[in-house]
């Protein structure tokens, strides 16, 4: 039996190009740890580093007859570095994509929120128009004009207690309508 550990890289490459699995195993044993260290130092993730080293060796085996490798260690190290860079670019693209999706969800949610708000305002406006006249006036002066109870009472020549009662009646009606609307959505 031949001792493959005594062969130099060029001899192993020659045997590899002829399909010698033992030569491949020797190359694997010789360079795996170093290639793993390169990948791990850049990615800081053990599983990803192992995957990359595995992929480099798979590619070496698949292309064993096509490769015209001059310096095996340099070739494998460069292959790992390129795969690490490709992995980093992929991770960055995924991060940017996820970020853009999160932004889209926030915008969509904001637009949806705005539409619901407008719809609620429309319902309130319609319901205010359906209130009895005095109740309607009290509500409009209170909410749209910003007048307090005393000012509304003076403007309409009614007692402050009547203003409070009418406002309470209006708010109760509007709560019922908006509650059913909000439950629907």
User: What average pLDDT values come out for the chain (185 residues) when binned by 10 residues?
Assistant: 83 91 94 95 93 93 85 93 93 82 61 71 82 86 86 88 88 78 58
pLDDT for 141 equals: 85
The whole-angstrom separation of Cα 19 and Cα 64 is: 7
CA distance 35 to 47: 13
Domains and CATH numbers, the chain: 4-96 (1.10.1740.10), 131-184 (1.10.10.10)
What global pTM score does this model have? 0.53
Contact 39, 48 (CB under 8 A): yes
Give yes or no for a contact between 79 and 65, defined as CB atoms under 8 angstroms apart. no
Report the pLDDT value the prediction gives residue 101, as an integer from 0 to 100.
72
CA distance 15 to 75: 17
pLDDT of residue 5: 87
pLDDT, position 111? 62
Residue in 4, 11, 60, 7 with CA at minimum distance from that of residue 32: 60
pLDDT score, position 140 = 85
User: Whole-angstrom Cα distance, residue 4 to residue 2?
Assistant: 6
How far apart, in whole angstroms, are the C-alpha atoms of residue 5 and residue 45?
Answer: 30
Whole-number pLDDT of residue 87: 92
């Amino acid at each position: 039996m031949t001792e493959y550990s005594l062969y130099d890289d060029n001899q192993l490459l020659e045997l590899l190009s002829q399909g010698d699995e033992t030569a491949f195993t020797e190359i694997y044993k010789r360079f795996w740890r170093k290639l793993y260290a390169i990948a791990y130092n850049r990615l800081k993730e053990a599983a990803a580093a192992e995957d990359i080293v595995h992929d480099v060796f798979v590619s070496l085996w698949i292309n064993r007859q096509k490769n015209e490798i001059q310096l095996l260690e340099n070739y494998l190290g460069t292959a790992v570095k390129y795969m690490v860079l490709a992995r980093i670019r992929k991770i960055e693209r995924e991060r940017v994509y996820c970020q853009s999706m999160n932004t889209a969800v926030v915008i969509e949610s904001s637009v949806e929120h705005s539409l619901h708000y407008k719809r609620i305002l429309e319902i309130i406006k319609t319901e205010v128009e359906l209130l009895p006249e005095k109740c309607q006036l009290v509500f409009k002066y209170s909410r749209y004009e910003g007048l307090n109870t005393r000012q509304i009472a003076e403007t309409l020549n009614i007692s402050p207690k009547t203003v409070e009662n009418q406002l309470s009646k209006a708010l109760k009606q509007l709560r019922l309508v908006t509650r059913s609307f909000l439950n629907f959505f």
